[in-house]
Amino acid sequence: MQRDSNLYIYRQLYTQLKEDILAFKYNSHEKLPSKRVMSKHKDISINSVKAAYEQLLAEGYIYTQERKGYYIEPIDKLIIENDKQPSLETYHEHTATEFEYSFSHMSTDISEFPVDTWTKMMKQVFQNYDHYLSSIPEVKGPMELRQSIAKLISYQRGIHCHPEQIVIGSGTNALLTKLIELMTKNITIAVEDPGYSRFRTLLEQTRIHMEPIALDRKGISLEGIKDIQPNAVIVTPSHQFPIGTIMPVSRRIDLLNWASKTHSYIIEDDYDSEFKYETDNIPSLFSFEKNESVIYLGTFSKTLMPSIRMSYMILPTKLVRQFELQNQNTIPDYSMLNALTLNLMIKEGHYEKYIKKMHQLYGKKRENLIAHLSMAFGEHIQIKDTQAGLHFIIEVNSPYSYEEIETRAKEQKLELYTINRFKVKALQKNNGPKILIIGFSKIEQNHIPEAVQRLKSVLIE
């Protein structure tokens, strides 16, 4: 035994014996030396031998007979097919590109996140909610958080619901998966085109028949929906993603009437409604609801940060009991610690205070970015600003194709997304303006001038 090794003596003996057994240096049922004999032979303590034998016994390499000793367990040789042993050298691990500037629509600015307050609330959870933390989480989420969310959305979004209707999840994709499980098989779900690509991917993975519906100036085309007559349609009425259209009340009523007449569902993804500039917030589609045809998806990913993984779904009352029965043996995927911490943040007013602060910060970034874009691009650019959310659309006269723009942006270490990320079928045209999604949440104020110049070099220089 190597006494200067970092491994314990018993681990060295255990490893040596295991390797010898697997190399068939011992016969099946062959008796091992007694602990005393082995300790003398290896010049180690009996306790070390005992520990090594007990580990081999626990893993099934040896067995014991009372008052007789330890014996080798019969073990067949493991079949190894050489042609099925891939080398890691054939795989190339995907590494994220390091960007110097970001126009991403997916990120948030966490520079002002109230870390001290969040930590303080988390400590309170450990002190006062140990009965929650030491148990399997409730399938719909802790009642305290659902009550806080019900109050919050009542005056923020005009939504009146019972806490029992609210389901907490680790993200809108996870909640949409649960929702699909409630629906009958062989359904058709319509989606906006362009729209949220992750929802489309999820529908494809769950083998749901998906139908893309084009947009018009009021949002998703009602005529397109009527032509297909889906069982459900996913929409972003308060700030269409990614184009930014705010669905007017006329289209909302028409959409609700269609759902009522056809007994279909409208799945409202209200992903960034907290941020509306220069006017009041747009009421949710759910707030118009009278016939239990709208299912609401909300998230804290945009207001706090994506990594907290905290979203919620509001079900029509007729689906609540069905959800509870179908998920009664399900272990939820959300973090109970984060859920209870978020509840205290909302309950004690810290959440709304933070939102107001970020609303001002994002508003200034947006104005600054629009001013620099207008100045840098001049007549080459059209800014489609709907004064809502954390991104807007620009149309730029560029000689480059969408694929070339994406490549050039990466070369410039600029995180940038074109409309093709959100289209069901990518646009191939090289003529005419190029449509880009410009997020402003992650970029720092003092970086805006340089980021805009780098964007200009990508698109027209």
Q: 115-348 architecture in CATH?
A: 3-Layer(aba) Sandwich (3.40)
**Burial class of residue 108, CB neighbours in 10 A (0-12, 13-18, 19+):** buried
Q: What is the pLDDT of residues 10-29, one digit of tens each?
A: 999 999 999 999 999 999 99
CATH 1.10.10.10, domain 9-72, yes or no: yes
**Residue 295: is its pLDDT beyond 60?**
yes
In whole angstroms, what separates CA 267 from the centre of its chain?
A: 18
For residue 116, the model assigns a pLDDT of: 97
Arithmetic mean of pLDDT, 299-319? 93
For residue 280, the model assigns a pLDDT of: 74
Q: What is the pLDDT of residues 192-224, one digit of tens each?
A: 999 999 999 999 999 899 999 999 999 999 999
Residue found by looking up tokens 């409202």 in the block: 268
For residue 85, the model assigns a pLDDT of: 60
Query: DSSP E strands: which ranges in 400-446?
Result: 414-415, 417-418, 433-439
For residue 81, the model assigns a pLDDT of: 76
In whole angstroms, what separates CA 256 from the centre of its chain?
A: 29
Q: What is the pLDDT of residues 72-123, one digit of tens each?
A: 999 998 887 776 666 656 656 666 678 999 999 988 989 999 999 999 999 9
Arithmetic mean of pLDDT, 274-283? 80
- Of 58-62, 272-276, 380-384, which gets the smallest average pLDDT? 272-276
Arithmetic mean of pLDDT, 413-430? 89
For residue 96, the model assigns a pLDDT of: 65
pLDDT, averaged across the chain: 92
**Residue 448: is its pLDDT beyond 90?**
yes
For residue 366, the model assigns a pLDDT of: 94
CA 132 to CA 126: how far, in whole Å?
A: 9
User: What percent of the chain clears pLDDT 70, i.e. is strictly above it?
Assistant: 95
For residue 94, the model assigns a pLDDT of: 63
CA 141 to CA 169: how far, in whole Å?
A: 8
**Residue 429: is its pLDDT beyond 80?**
no
For residue 276, the model assigns a pLDDT of: 84
Select from 415, 373, 378, 380 the least CA-distant residue to 397. 380
For residue 410, the model assigns a pLDDT of: 95
CA 170 to CA 335: how far, in whole Å?
A: 7
Number of Cβ within 10 Å of residue 62's Cβ equals 23
Q: What is the pLDDT of residues 239-266, one digit of tens each?
A: 999 999 999 999 999 999 999 999 999 9
For residue 1, the model assigns a pLDDT of: 63
**Residue 62: is its pLDDT beyond 70?**
yes
Residue 8 tokens, joined: 């314990």
- Domain segments of the chain: what residues? 9-72, 101-106+356-460, 115-348
Global pTM value = 0.85
CA 246 to CA 388: how far, in whole Å?
A: 9
- Of 144-153, 420-429, 435-444, which gets the smallest average pLDDT? 420-429
Q: What is the pLDDT of residues 349-396, one digit of tens each?
A: 999 999 999 999 999 999 999 999 999 999 999 998 778 889 999 999
**Residue 323: is its pLDDT beyond 90?**
yes
For residue 449, the model assigns a pLDDT of: 97
CB contact at 8 A, 287 and 273 = no
CATH class of 101-106+356-460: alpha beta
